[in-house]
Chain A
Amino acid sequence: MTSSAARSYLYERHALLVRITHWVNVVAFIVLLMSGLQIFNAHPNLYWGKSSYSGDPPLLRMTAKSAPNGERIGVTRVFGRDFETTGVFGLSRDSRGAWTERGFPSWLTLPGDRWLAMGRRWHFFFAWVFVINGLLYLAYSIASRHLTRDLVPEVKEWRTVGQSIKDHLRFRHPTGEAAKHYNVLQKITYLVVVFVLLPLVVLMGLAMSPWLNSLWPGWVDLVGGRQSARTLHFVAAWALVAFVLIHVFEVIISGVWNNLRSMITGRYRIRTEEPRDAT
């Protein structure tokens, strides 16, 4: 029997645990990013090496200084080159509107004003939420075979990477039954995020802990030293932000409500011209 009337139907796309861990992760990531920038602001410089005072200049520095005309300006130095960044980096308005010297602006930090102790409280509480939530997701994904079934690309898929890049650049997304699976770029991206960026950001955070440095003295030098770890923690965090921006963009252009519904209720609407079931 053929039911050609069924041109659209809902199917269960995301398991409950994936949905819960996704949204817990959203909250934890926002808090960690903003409290992390609060912590960064206590010393808005990044270095490469074991210490900050090795004789080498920082890789990145955000400061406020007086311009020749006497006006205060924000200056960001990246690899020895200065950029004027008044209003955003180095010098910006605090929550009461007063110009203050600070790395990232108050609208990007938690708490908004300079408050390192409170930033650390938020950061180290939500770091636990983030790690436990991530481990739950990982354990579920392995046990339920979500990882091997849905995320690891099949051998034949690797040949379609070029085509998938073209499709993404043209904002073309799979429709119909093909929309039931992640595309190959999506799979690779998710795997890089889950197995490279997230472990990296956590590990580099732990590498900054003087207590954990004593676990195996010298292990932090494998990545260049504690200040390198701090730089890598920062870079990995912004790489995750870049992922989130692209992820949200793709969610919006490929059917925002359908995508959102599937991550809240689990159900995703498949629209197809073909008969739903032919038996």
Chain B
Amino acid sequence: MPRDQQSRVSRRKVLAQLFTGAGAALLAGCEAASRTQWFPKILGVGEHLTRGAQHLLTSRRSMAQEFEEADLSPQFRSNGTSNPKSPAYQAHARNGFADWALQLGGLVASPATLTLAQLRAMPSRTQITRHDCVEGWSAIGKWTGVPLSEVLARVKPSDSARYVVFHCADQMSSGDLYYESIDMEDAYHPQTILAYGLNDAVLPIANGAPLRLRVERQLGYKMAKYVMRIELVGSFAHVGRGKGGYWEDRGYEWFAGI
């Protein structure tokens, strides 16, 4: 074999190995990078780009699609906690939440507690919307509740309030209580309601009784079930593990618009 031909063959062999090697290294690298502290933060830039772009494209009050009765899912799927175990919650459940009251506090002018009867007496909104789980499935339900804006009007948030934090009754397998947070734009959105009814009936325990949040432009994990206390804050850095929600503390995006 002539020398230049020989060197060409070996060069090709090296190139072939380089390509398969590069592929394997790329995947092994991705796997290792996922487990570092710094790399997922770089990937997290995607969340900010998405949030910025989606807010540029839509107005503050852009409405989530509302559906017809015919679109309702025969049974609304329960995901995550389906019945909080804590004795306090169980006592309320046995009592039909008659003695239960929502606590409202934090950066507000007049903290308050509102019973289920008081919440039901306030203006209500009913909406048939699609619930999109981060896992990929969707279900359509008819929700009735009080707009969060009505509840906030009662307690008068101070100007320094930037987020609304929802503290829940369900303890997760890690031992932490579920919580979530949304910004003031979502808090005052017309479709953001504290729902006490599902499909023309009382909200079942499996779906978050006595009260659950609906934030219709975001994924299901934002829509906290078993809401016990609402707190207005300037920053959620000191709530839970600091990322703004139970699943956010475990790597999910705070902005769940996609």
Contact = CB atoms under 8 A, between A and B. Distances in A.
Given A51-B140, A124-B50, A217-B63, A211 B15 contact: no
Nearest to B51: A211
A43 B66 contact: no
B88 interface: no
B14 to A, nearest CB: 12
Interface stretch (B171-179, B227-235, B247-255): B247-255
A217 B138 contact: no
Contacts of A120: 134, 252-253
A226 B132 contact: yes
A112 B67 CA distance: 38
A124 B43 CA distance: 8
A50 B130 contact: yes
B138 A51 contact: yes
B40 A213 contact: no
Interface stretch (A52-60, A134-142, A169-177, A268-276): A52-60
Contacts of B133: 43
A127 B15 CA distance: 29
A48 interface: no
Contacts of B31: 110-112
B258 interface: yes
B46 A127 contact: yes
A40 interface: yes
A68 B132 CA distance: 36
B257 A121 contact: no
Interface in B204-219: 216-219
Contact of B217 (A42, A53, A118, A210): A210
Given A117-B250, A120-B253, A121-B251, A210 B136 contact: no
20 contacts: A45-B136, A50-B71, A50-B138, A50-B140, A53-B77, A53-B138, A53-B140, A117-B252, A120-B134, A121-B253, A124-B43, A125-B43, A127-B46, A210-B64, A210-B132, A210-B218, A211-B257, A214-B65, A215-B58, A220-B65
Interface of B: 12, 15, 23, 26-27, 30-31, 34, 40, 42-47, 49-50, 54, 57-58, 62-67, 71, 73-77, 130, 132-140, 216-219, 247, 250-253, 257-258
- What 8 A-B pairs are tightest by C-beta distance, nearest first? A211-B257, A117-B251, A125-B46, A53-B73, A43-B136, A214-B62, A209-B258, A52-B137
Interface of A: 27, 30-31, 34, 39-40, 42-43, 45, 50-55, 110-112, 115-118, 120-122, 124-128, 206, 208-215, 217-218, 220-221, 226-227, 230, 257, 260
